[in-house]
Structure 1
């Protein structure tokens, strides 16, 4: 948007006005009365201090004077077309001459400032319409004594603050609802009816984001008794990435129930990502595990994702072996392949799948990262103390955050499956 007053929309700084301090209120008056009949009386704020007054003869000058220390604008609705910067303005919505066009332009110019509309005593209908359009209050020219105007300014400033606070609260509630919807999509209830496996999961958003990031997971049991588990991470941390994560998770679940696995499944998910991503720079890492009905064997596919952790058989935690090394992240290389590695799990075991946010936290004040070896050590210590399931995940996450010295900067998702 440009700075030309003659264009359709008037820009303005978006910062909120400064809070009223001991320095008192500042009023910006926008009027161009050639007769000079509009006289602003001396004004006092609530503490008895003098209200500072600035006067602009047109919108170009008003835009220059509208700094963050201005608390309220007094706009003369009779401002001439020349002072407004454009004559005969027509309202786009109504398709007719808009008597309040100047007010609408000021409201666009100063969306976070209180605005008082000034009009003639015989124009009460127009004054009421000004409030409906967005002014905090209106005044008649004959009422411009110091007491009435001072009170109107204070009222307008406080009402504007209340309106902004209510808007922020509403936006916060809407964001919370959006987060809840995204969370239900990214982190679903597992479908494990009939399985002997125990499931636990945790998700922690990174400290710098209000929205969920692109981490996602899912676990389902198909009709043949195979348990399929997946965890993934879309690069980036905005709502678009979270929405893409939801799409990939839902697609994975549908394709898994349709009988796809391994390379065929990941190849189809790559095509989904390529069609749905907002930029060719977006990619996703993924780890899938399909556990045989007897629970003793599994197939592993990695698409640029860290290998899962396995513990059991009298041995401590270790990375699930992946002889083929996996394939690239989804969306990186066209026509990529993702080999499926067959692994032995044994009779009793714990399988932990995670996103890289868990291993990229720092250890102490230096640049050293926790890494997979550090994670294996933490999990081993906690399992040796007898922790399992959700208690194990909570303890591991707590220690990782403690080692980092603060909340982790990246999102973390962890999925745990236990047998025996």
Structure 2
């Protein structure tokens, strides 16, 4: 059935300019080439332009559906059986043409046109997915313009609502994924307290190339590790997870020190995407009595230790070995460290110390980090509060988000 030409108003056309509303483009899909909206332009009651395009079937409509089209007006009486251009061939579905339009124009507003005595079918078309319906006998320029603008705004609102719901769902899924990828410390039976902070450097990333873990073996030894895969992409993040899992498995299997790091280097060499990738690592094994530890460094910054009544300081880092993946058959000496009765041991990645200070090129560095930690300790901070304050201050000194990944682990023991 032909779509009638809306009657024209005696309103002069608007001039284009900053104050003029943007014109609308309407794609009309109806199968009567002689009786439809075939004039090149219609003016609504306010003089705003409605540019028209006409398609006789859905095949032609798909070709005319360019990004400048604001809205689609579909005649519900358009044939939808075989040969009608819908591509569905389903004559039993009265909304086959509409469903096809919604498939080919998922981001466009869609109006349907029908007769006034077919109101129930028009309402069902809205439930199928159209933004609104129009009755053929009531159509004029003002009504058409208003309906188009309403449909376009409603479609935008629908898309925004969908994106919001999708974003919330993605955030929930990301949180679950992140919880699954980040380690759960295995410290049952230990008197050590554990705290950690992790912040990936890549925007909107779940994980970066930094990784850490802590486990207690059956003999009572607590093993802690922190590492950093060079680079910031998803491949480096995946490699970090692989190294963490491998470290936990090897540690629980009884490996420690040089044997453990040599095996991890073999894992890295097999799993890394290219030969230029390497990883730094720091491992600590704390004796069951909690008073001493073994320390191995593979190109990684030395941990920081704090004790009551004494300023925090870095543990000795002489004779450390190279980063994993740099030298074949490398060795990593294990150094014995006396901890004492009450202490806190902080392991960290270089993302914490490489942030800039103010607008210049000077970086926080290890000395600046030690000074910062001592200030927070003097303020009575410990555990989670100490880590949160330290990462927050590093960001503030940097003038914004730190570009590198940051991981910090704190193990503490109170004697008595």
- Give your verdict on TM over 0.5: yes
Q: TM-score range by the shorter chain?
A: 0.7 to 0.9
For 2:265 and 2:61, locate their aligned partners in 1 and report how far apart those are by CA, in whole Å. Answer: 53
Task: Look up the match of 1:325.
Answer: 320
Task: Look up the match of 1:215.
Answer: 210
- Relative distance call for 1:71 and 1:37 in structure 2 (3 A) is closer
Task: Look up the match of 1:364.
Answer: 358
Q: Is 2:383 aligned against 1:393?
A: no
Comparing 22-31 with 170-179, which one deviates more in the overlay?
A: 22-31
Task: Look up the match of 1:23.
Answer: 21
Task: Look up the match of 1:50.
Answer: 48
Q: Is the 8 A contact 1:295 1:345 kept in 2?
A: no
Task: Look up the match of 1:74.
Answer: 73
Distance apart, 1:344 and its partner CA: 1.3
Q: After superposition, what is the alpha-carbon deviation per residue over 1:302-360, rounded to whole angstroms, capped at 9, x for unaligned?
A: 3443322223487533332233332224xx45855451421313314321111222112
1:339 to 328, 332, 335: 332
Q: How does 1:175-214 map to 2 (within 5 A)?
A: 175-206=170-201, 208-209=203-204, 211-214=206-209
Q: Is 2:250 aligned against 1:255?
A: yes
Distance apart, 1:300 and its partner CA: 2.5
- Relative distance call for 1:99 and 1:300 in structure 2 (3 A) is farther
Q: Is 2:410 aligned against 1:412?
A: no
Comparing 111-120 with 382-391, which one deviates more in the overlay?
A: 111-120
For 1:398 and 1:167, locate their aligned partners in 2 and report how far apart those are by CA, in whole Å. Answer: 34
Unaligned runs of 5+ in 2: 1-18
Q: How does 1:210-249 map to 2 (within 5 A)?
A: 211-235=206-230, 242=237, 244-249=239-244
- Relative distance call for 1:235 and 1:158 in structure 2 (3 A) is farther
Q: Is the 8 A contact 2:257 2:334 kept in 1?
A: no
TM-score normalised by structure 2 residue count: 0.73
Would you say how many aligned residue pairs link Structure 1 and Structure 2?
387
Distance apart, 1:112 and its partner CA: 2.9
Task: Look up the match of 2:288.
Answer: 293
TM-score normalised by structure 1 residue count: 0.73
- Relative distance call for 1:279 and 1:165 in structure 2 (3 A) is farther
Task: Look up the match of 2:372.
Answer: 378
Q: After superposition, what is the alpha-carbon deviation per residue over 1:161-198, rounded to whole angstroms, capped at 9, x for unaligned?
A: 23212221222222222332233234444222332322
For 1:380 and 1:76, locate their aligned partners in 2 and report how far apart those are by CA, in whole Å. Answer: 75
Q: Is 2:129 aligned against 1:116?
A: no
- Relative distance call for 1:260 and 1:381 in structure 2 (3 A) is same
For 1:235 and 1:49, locate their aligned partners in 2 and report how far apart those are by CA, in whole Å. Answer: 62
Q: How does 1:98-109 map to 2 (within 5 A)?
A: none
Report SS of the residue matched to 1:196: coil
Q: After superposition, what is the alpha-carbon deviation per residue over 1:355-413, rounded to whole angstroms, capped at 9, x for unaligned?
A: 22211211011122212222122123333444332332233223212211223233322
Report SS of the residue matched to 2:148: helix
- Relative distance call for 1:313 and 1:125 in structure 2 (3 A) is closer
